[in-house]
Amino acid sequence: MRTHYCGEVSEGLLDQEVEVCGWVHRRRDHGGVIFIDLRDREGLLQVVFDPDREAAFATADRVRPEWVLKIKGRVRARPEGTINTTLRSGQVEVLGLEVEVLNEAKTPPFQLDEDGVGEDVRLRHRYIDLRRPEMQHNLRKRAQVTGFMHRFLDDQGFVDIETPMLTRATPEGARDFLVPSRLHAGSFYALPQSPQLFKQLLMMSGFDRYYQIVRCFRDEDLRADRQPEFTQLDIETSFMDEAGITGLVEKMVRELMAEVAGIELPDPFPRMTYAEAVERFGIDRPDLRIPMELVSVGDLLADVEFKVFSGPANDPRGRVAALKVPGGNALTRKQIDEYTQFVGRYGAKGLAYIKVNDPSLGAEGLQSPILKFLPESAIAEILQRTGAQAGDLIFFGADKAKVVNDALAALRVQVGHDLNLVADEWRPVWVLDFPMFEYDEADGRFYALHHPFTAPQVDSVEAFESADPEALLSRAYDLVLNGTELGGGSIRIHRPEMQSAVFARLGIDQAEAQEKFGFLLDALDYGAPPHGGIAFGLDRIIMLMTGAGSIRDVMAFPKTQTGACLLTEAPAAVDAAALNDLHIRVNPILKG
C-alpha cells in the first residue's frame, strides 16, 4: 500500500512521487493551507495540502488526530527557515496529491505528545500509548538487544533450547504462580521462576552450551524494576569455571552496549567481593558513580556511655557506620529530618549527624547534638577515617548490621541524587564470593542466599559439613551496572553427595528432597559434568540502556504495581463451570 515509510522520505527523493501510510499526529490549518504530520514507526512526515486540489484538500480538512490515512504526493524541499533538524525527514515535505481515509478514530484519551499523562491512563489504553515515539524507540531497542544476544551466543556455539512453562512448584525462592490441572484433580503446575533445573539437566544431557530468552514468573511484591512476569537471558555451560563464564558474559555485555547503544564500558570490568561491597556501600549492588562510602566506626564507640552507639558496637550482629556527605553541611534541619524519616522505612530508629565546620579545631569546629556523648579521641579518628573536610556532613547508622546497611545504602543513593553527586558515566562491577547462606532470625533457620543448587567454595562434603554455615562462601557472581543488578549466576553443584549435604543444611530432609527434587538427584547419579551459568534481566538492561524510569516502559504490555493488567482487566473471575472442570471451589471473601 505504500512506497516508503514516513521517516524514510528524504532529500534523495526530491521531485519524486511517494505513497505513505500512517496516523495523523497533528493537523494544522494555516489560512488556506493544511499541514498534516503523518506518523508511522519510522517517524514523522510533513504533508502539505493546498486548495488547488479540491478533493484532497476537502478530505484533509476533515481529518482528525489518529485517523489512519494513505497519502500520495510529491516530495519537495521545505521553504527556507522551516527545516526541522530533529526529524529524519525534516529537510523535505510532501505536497499532497491524493488522500484516502483508511480508518477514522475517536478522540484519543490523551495526546501522544502530552506530558504528565497518568500511567494508569497510559496502561489502560496501551495500544495508543505504544504509538508514542518514546515507546516505539524502547521496544525497537529491545528487539535490537535480543537480536544481538542471539547472534553473539550462536557464534559462541550456544544452542537455543526451550524449556517447559508448566512445571513443578519449588520450596525455595519467591512464591510460585500455580496452574490447576483439569486432568489431574487436586494437582497443580507452577509457572517457572526460572529454567534453573531444566538448564542444569540440559548440561547433564551433554548439550554443553545452552541459552534461552525466556519468560519467568514470580508472585512477589512489585516495584519499578519488578513484574510478575519478566524476561531473562538464561545461559548455562559445561566445563567452564567462574573466570570463563564471567569473561564470556563481560565480552557480550561490552559489545552489546557499544553496538546497540553507543556506550563504551571499561575493559576489564572491576571486581569486588560481597564482603567489600557491603562494608563500603551497605549493599551487594553498589552504584559506583556516587562518591560516598560507608565507614565502620564501631570499634571507636564500644566504650562510650551513649548506648545508641555502644549497644550495636558490642553486638556481634550489630554495626555502627558513618557516611560522609561532601558539601552536606549546607543541608537544613528540615532536610535532615526528612532523611531521618527516609531511613525509618528501612528500620532505622534515627539518624545521628555531625556538621563539619572546621576539622582542624577538633570538636570545637563541629556541630551536632551527639558531640557531648563522644570522647575527643573518637571524634578525631572518625574525622580521619571519613576524610571529612570543612563543609561536609557525617551521617551515622547504629543498629543491627542489616538495618544499618539497608538504611545507609539507600540514604547514600538518595543523597547522591538529591545533591547531584552522581557522575555521568557507566560503572559496571562484578560482585563475587557471596555467602552460601543467610540466617533468618524470625524463622530461626538458614536460607540459600542465591538458590540451593549453588556450589560452595569447598570441595569435600566433610569440609562443608564441618564449616560454620555463616562463614561458608559460594561460587556465585553478580554483574552490577550503575547500582542495578543486571544478572547473577554461579557454578552449580554437580556431585549428588554435595547436593544432599546442602539440602540437609537447609533443613530439607532426604524424603522431602526426593519428593521435590528427585529427578535432579537421580540425574546427578548419571555423570553430571561441572557446570555453571548466569541469567540476565533483559527488561532491566533495556531500562538502563534507554534511560527509562521503569521496566514497564520497555515492555509492550506490563502489569501495574499491584500485578493487574488495566488493558485486559486481568486477573478476573471465571465462571463456576470452568472452576468445576478444574476441581476448584472459591471461598467467598469475608468483609469487615
Q: What pLDDT digit, counting tens, does each position of 255-268 carry? A: 999 999 999 999 99
In this structure, is residue 86 part of a structural domain?
yes
The reported pLDDT for the residue numbered 46 is: 97
Give the orientation angle of helix 538-546 with respect to helix 242-261, to 10 degrees.
Answer: 40
32 pLDDT more than 90: no
Residue 14, C-beta contacts closer than 8 angstroms, at least 6 positions apart: 75, 76, 77, 92
CA neighbor of 348 nearest in space, from 395, 398, 280, 415: 398
CATH value at residue 156: 3.30.930.10
Q: End of a domain among 397, 422, 447?
A: 422
In this structure, is residue 51 part of a structural domain?
yes
d(CA 494, CA 455): 8
> Based on the structure, what is the number of domains in the chain?
3
Say if residue 22 is in the same domain as residue 94.
yes
**Contact assessment for residue 326 and residue 421, using Cβ atoms and an 8 Å cutoff:** yes
Say if residue 333 is in the same domain as residue 405.
yes
The reported pLDDT for the residue numbered 172 is: 57
591 pLDDT more than 70: no
Could you tell me the CA-to-CA distances from 500 to 343, 366, 478, 494, 525 in Å, in that order?
41, 57, 25, 11, 12
Band the pLDDT of 170: cuts 50, 70, 90. confident
Residue 249, C-beta contacts closer than 8 angstroms, at least 6 positions apart: 235, 479, 487, 534, 536
d(CA 272, CA 277): 7
Could you list the residues known to form a binding site for ATP, using ranges. Answer: 218-220, 227, 485, 537-540
The reported pLDDT for the residue numbered 224 is: 57
DSSP single-letter state for residue 590: P
Could you list the residues known to form a binding site, using ranges. Answer: 172, 218-220, 227, 450, 485, 492, 537-540
Could you tell me the CA-to-CA distances from 529 to 9, 157, 322, 494 in Å, in that order?
56, 18, 46, 6
Say if residue 144 is in the same domain as residue 56.
no
In this structure, is residue 397 part of a structural domain?
yes
- Give the residue, 587 or 101, on which the prediction is more confident: 101
Say if residue 415 is in the same domain as residue 296.
yes
First-to-final CA distance of the chain: 60
In this structure, is residue 159 part of a structural domain?
yes
347 pLDDT more than 90: yes
DSSP conformation letters of 34-59? EEEEEEETTEEEEEEE-TTSHHHHHH
The reported pLDDT for the residue numbered 483 is: 96
In this structure, is residue 72 part of a structural domain?
yes
Band the pLDDT of 67: cuts 50, 70, 90. very high
The reported pLDDT for the residue numbered 587 is: 84
Across 278-282, 439-443, 493-497, least confident range: 439-443
Say if residue 300 is in the same domain as residue 409.
yes
225 pLDDT more than 80: no
Band the pLDDT of 223: cuts 50, 70, 90. low
The reported pLDDT for the residue numbered 90 is: 94
The region, left, alpha or beta by phi > 0 then psi within -120 to 50, assigned to residue 342 is alpha
CA neighbor of 320 nearest in space, from 341, 350, 340, 292: 350
% residues pLDDT > 70 (the chain): 98
CA neighbor of 37 nearest in space, from 131, 160, 165, 147: 131
In this structure, is residue 497 part of a structural domain?
no
Say if residue 86 is in the same domain as residue 171.
no
**Helix, strand, coil in percent for the chain, rounding step 5:** 35, 25, 40
d(CA 539, CA 536): 9
590 pLDDT more than 60: no
Say if residue 359 is in the same domain as residue 322.
yes
Residue 21, C-beta contacts closer than 8 angstroms, at least 6 positions apart: 1, 2, 40, 68, 69, 70, 71, 102
3-state secondary structure 262-274: CCCCCCCCCEEEH
Say if residue 211 is in the same domain as residue 295.
no
Band the pLDDT of 57: cuts 50, 70, 90. very high
Q: End of a domain among 63, 78, 103?
A: 103
Facing residues of 216 across strands? Answer: 230
Reported as a single tens digit per residue, the pLDDT across 409-458 is: 999 999 999 999 999 999 999 999 999 999 887 888 888 998 999 999 99
Say if residue 68 is in the same domain as residue 12.
yes
Which amino acid makes up residue 108?
A: P
Band the pLDDT of 226: cuts 50, 70, 90. confident
Domain that holds residue 219: 119-239+533-592
Could you list the residues known to form a binding site for L-aspartate, using ranges. Answer: 172, 218, 450, 492
Say if residue 89 is in the same domain as residue 142.
no
Q: Specify the length of the chain in residues.
A: 592
Burial of 485 (0-12, 13-18, 19+ CB in 10 A): middle
The reported pLDDT for the residue numbered 549 is: 85
Q: Which three cell numbers stand for residue 170?
A: 519449588
The reported pLDDT for the residue numbered 466 is: 95
The reported pLDDT for the residue numbered 444 is: 82
11 pLDDT more than 70: yes
Band the pLDDT of 592: cuts 50, 70, 90. very low
- Give the residue, 113 or 424, on which the prediction is more confident: 424
DSSP conformation letters of 494-515? -SHHHHHHHHHHTT--HHHHHH
In this structure, is residue 177 part of a structural domain?
yes
Band the pLDDT of 115: cuts 50, 70, 90. confident
Most confidently modeled range among 167-181, 319-333, 507-521: 319-333
The reported pLDDT for the residue numbered 373 is: 92
CATH value at residue 46: 2.40.50.140
H-state helical runs in 130-172: 133-155
Q: How many C-beta atoms lie closer than 10 Å to residue 287's C-beta?
A: 22
Residue whose cell numbers read 507452577: 190
Give pTM, 2 decimals.
0.91
Residue 259, C-beta contacts closer than 8 angstroms, at least 6 positions apart: 148
Say if residue 385 is in the same domain as residue 298.
yes
The reported pLDDT for the residue numbered 171 is: 61
Strand segments (E) across 198-254: 209-217, 229-238
Span 175-195, average pLDDT: 94
Say if residue 407 is in the same domain as residue 309.
yes
Q: End of a domain among 377, 393, 422?
A: 422
Residue 156, C-beta contacts closer than 8 angstroms, at least 6 positions apart: 209, 248
In this structure, is residue 471 part of a structural domain?
no
Span 214-222, average pLDDT: 88
